[in-house]
Chains A and B, each alone.
Chain A
Amino acid sequence: ILNVEQSPQSLHVQEGDSTNFTCSFPSSNFYALHWYRWETAKSPEALFVMTLNGDEKKKGRISATLNTKEGYSYLYIKGSQPEDSATYLCASITGGGNKLTFGTGTQLKVEL
């Protein structure tokens, strides 16, 4: 993996469904993995920053895991609500510094 890749590109789920997305990133010289939530017409909002292999973070119904050896992270949303509709971006830092490389995002639509 040379770039940050996210899948799926878009997702439609029903209210109450649980869902998850994948972020793949370069595993060599890994420093940090960020997740952001981006609502339409707003700016990206930080959800999680993870740095250690095996990290798990949780904020309400949203959680994330990190595997730095194989270069992937999962974001989980339990019991999706319409207000969860947004684009979820992941970004990684490799080689030190503060330069984030973003994926193209997973666009989530939660329908009633």
Chain B
Amino acid sequence: DAGVIQSPRHEVTEMGQEVTLRCKPISGHNSLFWYRQTMMRGLELLIYFNNNVPIDDSGMPEDRFSAKMPNASFSTLKIQPSEPRDSAVYFCASSSQGVGGNQPQHFGDGTRLSIL
């Protein structure tokens, strides 16, 4: 059974460019999460979706960040324009909908983003 699939694995781009990160959740999972990992702040939740609907985007840093989930099998996280401080590892995770978060989250391998 395929796990959470993220692409690209690595992205290096110049400041000001648009960056799009992609995620395919595990089939049958209806919750999807985007996280950012940095040395300073650890693993922090950016946004999560239930049944393709954004539920909590309070962790999205600013208007330069946007996320969409057009269907149950695909989500994107977009940064436009990108800045060097956006450099981090971005993880996508999915889980089956449980009451009060009683289902584990399954993480993808992450996208290592470097903004020059």
A positions within 8 Å CB-CB of B: 31-32, 34, 42-46, 49, 51, 89, 93, 96-105
Contacts and interface: CB of A to CB of B under 8 A. Distances in A.
Contact of B106 (A46, A93, A96): A46
Contacts of A105: 42
B37 to A, nearest CB: 9
- B: interface residue count bin: 20 to 34
Interface of B: 31, 33, 42-45, 48, 50, 55-56, 91, 93, 95, 97-98, 100-110
Contacts, number: 62
Given A97-B56, A98-B48, A43 B108 contact: yes
B100 A32 contact: yes
B8 to A, nearest CB: 15
For chain A, what secondary structure do more than half of its interface residues adopt (helix, strand, loop), or is it mixed?
A: loop
B106 to A, nearest CB: 7
A44 B107 CA distance: 6
